Structure 1
Amino acid sequence: MTDELQLNISGFEGPLDLLLELAKKQKVDLTKLSILELTDQFLIFVKNHINQLNLTADYLVMASYLAYLKSKLLLPKEENTEADDLEYDLTKRLIHYNAIKIASEKINNLFQEGKDFFTRQFDEKFVVSHKIVINVTFHDLLNTYLKIEKNRKKINFHLDKNHLFTVEDGNKWLKYFFNKNNLEWENLFSYLPKQIENIILKKSAVVSILQASLKLAQDGKLEIYQSESFKNIQIRLKDNHGQK
């Protein structure tokens, strides 16, 4: 059984491709062929090769169209108004099929890169990686760190206590608060001296006035309030300075 459709129709005998080639060269008029004979031979060929998928894929579409065309041609003439159009469409389809077949053969004959050999898929550039592995224990690292710390230049910090503020200084600043005789809440640190620029002295002043306010609150002379952590500390004079 041949794998190529052989036609014997209207005086032409040979493969379908030859028929199309002759039609292209205008040596055969496709419109003069018997569509019914072509359809019958085409359908028989497809039926005999139904299990060959490579052939079935190429011919099934055309076979279904020819079967539809045959059904139209077999109708009575008065009911078959589409027959002429369908025959003309079939001619166009056959010519179109031939053009696709020629184009596919040209594509298959084109150079195909990598068809007969495989190229390397990695970059030719190589990266050399150097990894230094130090084989030491935790005690080795600790001893080395202690040696470095021992040899490091010592920084001597000297704090001059004579230039720090005391609780008495805080009480002195809060005298302005008591002199106002105000029962409203006020910011404790608003009574710090404004002219202090040294950061250490500023911290010393904050500690001094805070200690003084705590002692005064303990003695019942003022109240202290803070809404939440790190917010301003508020103070106010206790009514009658704690006397009832």
Structure 2
Amino acid sequence: MKKHKPQFTKPFKNDDQAVRAKKHLGQHFLTDENIAEKIADTLSYDGYDKVLEIGPGMGVLTKYLLKKDVEVHVIEIDTESVEYLQNNYLHLRGRIHEKDFLKHDLQQIFKDEQVAIIGNFPYNISTQIVFKVLEYRDQIPEFSGMFQKEVAKRICEKEGSKAYGILSVLVQAFYDAEYLFTVPPSVFNPPPKVDSGVLRLKRKENFSLPCNEKLLFRVVKTAFNQRRKTLRNSLKSLNLPDNLREDAIFGSRPEQLSFQQFIELTQKIEPYAVSDK
């Protein structure tokens, strides 16, 4: 793996006027240096030499990433933040991407290279970011960052919990998910109305999904759309034969099944779901 010298930059200035937090972008700028450094330390920096930070804002987390032995890139949709980073983080020149992460093809920046993703994610698009990571999972061995606490907990939750849902199953099918720590509203400007939570995802290596991926996503989403019903009822729209629906697994509710059991369920359904192959 190619080594990079630690990259240093100008100190972060906690200047409320430098970049205005924009409500429509869901911006809440982290102001606590200790937490920023702690988040930067959540990545292992092992097995890859590139990191992409989503939504760096004024760079409080970026500063600590630049001290790591990796090549740091940032992607930011806010033109005011981009200008601030260009003026204050000179070592990022050429690696500040003024784009929408959700709409941008990751391979245009990194081709087929491995890259870790990190960030203090806007609450209003955080789940969409996770689905985008799943889409590019072959390129993303590690992912960590800050979410609304409720969402972070949900992603890492195990079966049997009311919080367990679509994100829990689909993320855990491909990544080992770990909830790390909680962050209070007081360390943000402006402060959000709820606690935040930091999580880490590590890709399961040498893992091959033993069922049709599109069908797995469809089964999970359909099941949880009527989570109070048994799978026998919630999956009626798949038009499965009666003899299959008599299988014991169809008597369960979706939150009772682990991600492994959802894979097994999809394998049972797959022979009858020709359109998804």
TM-score w.r.t. structure 2 length? 0.17
- Larger Rg: 1 or 2? 1
Q: Which has the higher contact order (CA 8 A, sep 6+)?
A: 2
Q: Which structure's residues are more often helix, by fraction? A: 1
